[in-house]
Amino acid sequence: MNRQIKGEFEVSATPQGMLELGGDIAVRHVRFDKRFHGPLDATGVVQMLAVGTAVEGSAAYVAIERIEGSLEGRPGSFVTQHSGTMDRGAPTLTLTVVPDSGDGQLAGLRGRIAIDIVDGRHFYTFDYSLPASSDAS
């Protein structure tokens, strides 16, 4: 079953400190707590590592997120992988469901999530698929 859902989420950040990579390069470690609303009614915990460069607007981050709640009424949890890049102000983000990370009625979940920030509000678009057997779980 291929589906697309949209909704909104709130996010709060808790800095976890800096990590050294050597050569005067430091990585910022931040925990984010999220609350999703809409067809994805869930909470998320994100652990992110981010690094900037000497060039204004260029940076990158990687993160792992565990999301738990319900997806269109199906309870369970899953893990996502974030990979974001800013190339002199031009952002790209890949946010995918980690294969076989879903449990409960979300077992077998596959998908990608897009994030849009408009006037300080966070919105998601989640394109996903579940095997037919997940409907009967």
CATH number, domain with residue 103: 2.40.350.10
**Count of structural domains, the chain:** 1
Q: Which domain holds residue 40?
A: 2-136
Q: pLDDT by residue (tens digit) across 49-107?
A: 999 999 999 999 999 999 999 999 999 999 999 999 999 999 999 999 999 999 999 99
- The verdict on pTM exceeding 0.75 is yes
How many CA atoms lie within 13 Å of 15's alpha carbon, on the beta-carbon side? 5
> Which percentage of the chain shows pLDDT scores above 70?
96
Cβ neighbours for 96, distance < 8 A, ≥ 6 positions apart:
80, 81, 111, 112, 113
Contact call for residues 71 and 109 (beta carbons, < 8 A): yes
The conformation of residue 132, written as its DSSP 8-state character, comes to T
